[in-house]
Every structure is written in structure tokens, then in C-alpha cells.
Amino acid sequence: MANESDFIDQLISETDRDKAFKKLLDLYQVRLYWHIRKLVITHENADDVLQNTFIRVYKSLTNFSRQSSLYTWMYKIAYNESIRFLEQNKNKHSISIEDVNTKYLNSLLEDTFFEGDVMQLKLQTAVSELNYKQRQVFNMKYYDDLKFREIATILEMKEGTIKTLYYNAVRFIEDNIEILPIKKGESFQNTENI
């Protein structure tokens, strides 16, 4: 964005806020949707979390300190909303976040919005086998193309730690993507025609 500071001023202005917020939606809605979708897996869940994210962004704009880019700030809100969603589901079903993630991964094939092939399912399976922090960092770097510095800001971790988590995740995926079974069970044995 050419002049982010002016755009932020419009977002917090009483007269320009609604028009600027519509532009904000146009600029970032798709990118944030896919970030959220990687965390909560299904379209319906991603849609709900995205809506909650933009509500929180709208309500919090006046508190934006401008210490990071607007996108990094919104990304962090989307990330926190996704984690909140996963925590609520964990509490609702008395299962761990890892189990919630596995449950959503298992429902991926039934998701009418999933257009992936077998290799993409294998990648998702391999990513789901990563520990929680590795999975977060991998998704942010590989799919969202964030810089290590931005990921460190979002996750409130040191940049060196982020790099280590990412490269360990990449090594695990490279070593295991072909040998991991797709996590839906035996019904995926004949997925070549998907």
C-alpha cells in the first residue's frame, strides 16, 4: 500500500471509516481467509472466523499502535481468532487442539470447497503431523509468504526460533510426505481419481 499511514487515518476517521473499511475488506479479505482456513481447515469455520476477525479489526482500529504493518496486525488478530475458535471447540468436545485439527483435517475431503489432489492431501497430512508451533510457522512462511520477522512479531517469538521451527518443519515434510498415509483411514486407499 502506497501510504498506509493515510489509509489508517481514514479507517479511524468518523467520516471516512466505512468507505475505508470496505477498501480494507477488498484488499485483505481473501488473504486472511486462506490464513484462517489453514488453521481451522473447513470453509464454514474459516468463514465464521473471518467474520469475527473483521469485527474485531473494526472495533480495534482506534487502538492500532502502528508498530507493525496493518496487514501484520490484522494477521495477528486473524491468528488469535482462529486459536480462540479451536480452543472453544476443544472445550466444547473436551479434546486437545491437536485432536480438533485432526478432526477438521479428516473432514477436508467432504468439504465441497476443497479442490486439492492427493499430493495436497498428503501435504496437509504431513503438516498436521508437525508439532503445533512448527505447523503455525510453516503455514505462515510457506503459504502466506510472510517474512521471518513478521512471523516473530505475530507469534511473539525470537526470529532465530522461528527460523529453526520452519527449517525443521520443512525437513520433516520432505522426509515424510511420501510415506505418511492420508489421515482419513483406509477409505483413501483409492484416491487417485479425486
Same domain flag for 177 and 108:
no
Of the residues 74, 100, 115, the one at which a domain ends: 115
Residue pLDDT, tens place only, 25-48? 999 999 999 889 888 878 899 999
Q: Is residue 194 domain-resident?
A: no
Hunting for cell 483411514 — which residue is that? 185
- Number of structural domains in the chain: 2
Q: How crowded is the C-beta side of 39, counted as CA atoms within 13 Å?
A: 29
The per-residue pLDDT for 58 is 95
User: In which domain, by residue range, is 166 found?
Assistant: 116-182
Residue pLDDT, tens place only, 71-117? 999 999 999 999 899 888 776 655 455 555 555 555 555 555 555 56
Write the DSSP symbol of residue 179. T
Same domain flag for 15 and 71:
yes
Of the residues 98, 115, 132, the one at which a domain ends: 115
Same domain flag for 130 and 100:
no
Q: Is residue 188 domain-resident?
A: no
Mean pLDDT of the chain: 82
The per-residue pLDDT for 150 is 92
Amino acid code (one letter) for 154: I
Burial code (b: 16+ CB inside 10 Å, e: under 16) for 111-129 equals beebeeeeeebbbbbbbbb
Same domain flag for 103 and 123:
no
Same domain flag for 83 and 170:
no
The per-residue pLDDT for 191 is 40
The per-residue pLDDT for 186 is 34
Rounded to an integer, the average pLDDT of 56-61 is 94
